[in-house]
Amino acid sequence: MRPLPPSESNFGFAPDQDGLGAWVHETFLEDDAELYNPDHAHLRDASIGWLWTDEPATHRGRIILGEARLVPPPQERWGSAMAHHQIRNWFGHAPDFIITISAVWARDLDDANFCALIEHEMFHCAQARDQYGEPKFSRDGRPMFEMRGHDVEEFIGVVERYGAVSWDVARLVAAAERGPTVAKASIAQACGSCLMKRAA
């Protein structure tokens, strides 16, 4: 069953490794998971810190429901030291990524939209690639990570006027036309909150 955000209000930020973090691993990263996605296989080796927040956030007038961040290495400045101190207090160490989810919005999302939000943020968490497209590793053999941008950036007006002329937009349109590859039944098995609401 999908984890619920904290029920209290004004909590600011709350780490949830045992709830949200464990559920994400069991749902999307394990080979036998109901919603296993091989696109995220590199994240098995990543340390991800999961946070709920009830703090509002917007970007360019849009409400932010989730945010993935690459945790930078500590620098010799107090601001960096402060941030890393807080991160270690939350997670016990500095993870590779921190994914923050809006508790306010997550409470009201159905299972499919909640899964889409989680995977959207996971897609931002990428393994770095070299100039030949091969995965990069550090000297000690650990994967090197980076942030990944969206696959498509285009204006609806351009597509309305000219169609899906760029390769990436055409691919997105084709994916939408094929329909989802994850069945609603699979989502219900992995999440279950919508089924419980119906049964109540």
Dihedral (C-alpha) 120, 25, 18, 11: value to the nearest 10 degrees? 0
Q: pLDDT grade, residue 38 (50/70/90)?
A: very high
In a domain, 3, yes or no: no
| Residues in Cβ contact with 149 at an 8 Å cutoff, skipping those fewer than 6 apart | 124
In a domain, 191, yes or no: no
- Taking the alpha carbons at both ends of the chain, their separation in whole angstroms is 15
Q: Count of CB atoms within 10 A of residue 123's CB?
A: 17
Domain that holds residue 34: 13-147
Q: Count of CB atoms within 10 A of residue 114's CB?
A: 22
Number of domains within the chain:
1
The pTM score is 0.86
Q: pLDDT grade, residue 188 (50/70/90)?
A: low
Convert the pLDDT of each residue in 83-112 to its tens digit.
Answer: 999 999 999 999 999 999 999 999 999 998
Q: What phi-psi label fits residue 9: left (phi over 0), alpha (psi between -120 and 50 degrees) or beta?
A: beta
In a domain, 17, yes or no: yes
In a domain, 25, yes or no: yes
Q: For residue 196, what pLDDT is reported? A: 45
In a domain, 70, yes or no: yes
